[in-house]
């Protein structure tokens, strides 16, 4: 019986490295035990964060309600929170499923719509929660990028099958 070492094999120079995903690092590549533990803990954390954010927003709405501003102002406030939450949830879902490059138009605005994203943060966290039920949020985007990079690397290496070493530099050509 041969023993297999648990140390990772060194990758050749130029081989693609996977990008880290928030909360998961690079554990999404091999989906080991720590990946599944995080897959359980991340949705729980997102749900607790959404509950805490909703609790804070409830105090904000109650504060406006105590000011006797009227039902119309209370309705506008609740509508604004609901709209901001929906917009933030849509943006977060698209960001996690397609990547930052897919954000166009109003979804790509970070600075001018910062208040919308802040008010709608509960919606964003809820979208993060639902996305984390199916995969590590952002995993599909990173996996597609990584697999494409691995395929490109394999094609480059296959083209050099007769000479597996690095390409000779210009200095080597001049000497020969």
- Residue 25 above 60 pLDDT? yes
pLDDT tens, position by position, 73-125: 888 999 999 999 999 999 888 888 887 777 777 777 777 888 888 899 999 99
- Residue 171 above 80 pLDDT? no
DSSP letter at 21 equals: B
In whole angstroms, what is the distance from residue 112 CA to residue 122 CA? 19
- Residue 10 above 70 pLDDT? no
DSSP letter at 8 equals: P
DSSP letter at 23 equals: T
Q: How many percent of the chain have pLDDT more than 70?
A: 82
Which secondary structure element, helix H or strand E, spans residue 122, and what is its range? helix 121-134
- Provide the whole-model pTM: 0.71
Share the mean pLDDT of the chain.
80
Report residue 163: phi and psi, to 5°: -130, 85
Q: Please tell me the predicted confidence (pLDDT) of residue 53.
A: 94
DSSP letter at 77 equals: H
Half-sphere exposure for 3 (CA within 13 Å, toward CB) = 3
- For tokens 């954390």, the residue is 45
Q: Token pair for residue 96?
A: 């996690």
Report in angstroms the alpha-carbon separations of 67 from 21, 53, 56, 63, 70.
44, 22, 17, 7, 8
In 3D, which of 18, 16, 8 has the Cα closest to residue 157? 16
Q: Please tell me the predicted confidence (pLDDT) of residue 130.
A: 93
Which secondary structure element, helix H or strand E, spans residue 30, and what is its range? helix 27-30
Query: Contact at 8 Å (CB) between 30 and 112?
Result: no
3 state DSSP class of 25: strand
């Amino acid at each position: 019986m041969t023993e297999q070492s648990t140390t990772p094999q060194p990758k050749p120079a130029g081989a693609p490295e996977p990008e880290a995903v928030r909360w998961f690092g690079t554990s999404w590549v091999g989906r080991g035990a720590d990946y599944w533990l995080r897959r359980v803990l991340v949705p729980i954390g997102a749900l607790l964060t959404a509950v805490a954010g909703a609790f804070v927003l409830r105090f904000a709405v109650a504060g406006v309600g105590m000011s006797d501003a009227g039902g119309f102002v209370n309705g506008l406030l609740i509508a604004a929170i609901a709209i901001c939450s929906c917009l933030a949830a849509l943006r977060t879902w698209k960001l996690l499923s397609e990547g930052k490059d897919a954000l166009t138009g109003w979804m790509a605005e970070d600075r001018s719509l910062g208040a919308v994203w802040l008010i709608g943060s509960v919606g964003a966290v809820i979208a993060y929660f639902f996305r984390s039920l199916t995969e590590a949020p952002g995993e599909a985007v990173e996996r597609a990028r990584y697999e494409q990079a691995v395929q490109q690397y394999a094609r480059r290496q296959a083209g050099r099958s007769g000479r597996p070493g690095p390409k000779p530099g210009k200095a080597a050509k001049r000497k020969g």
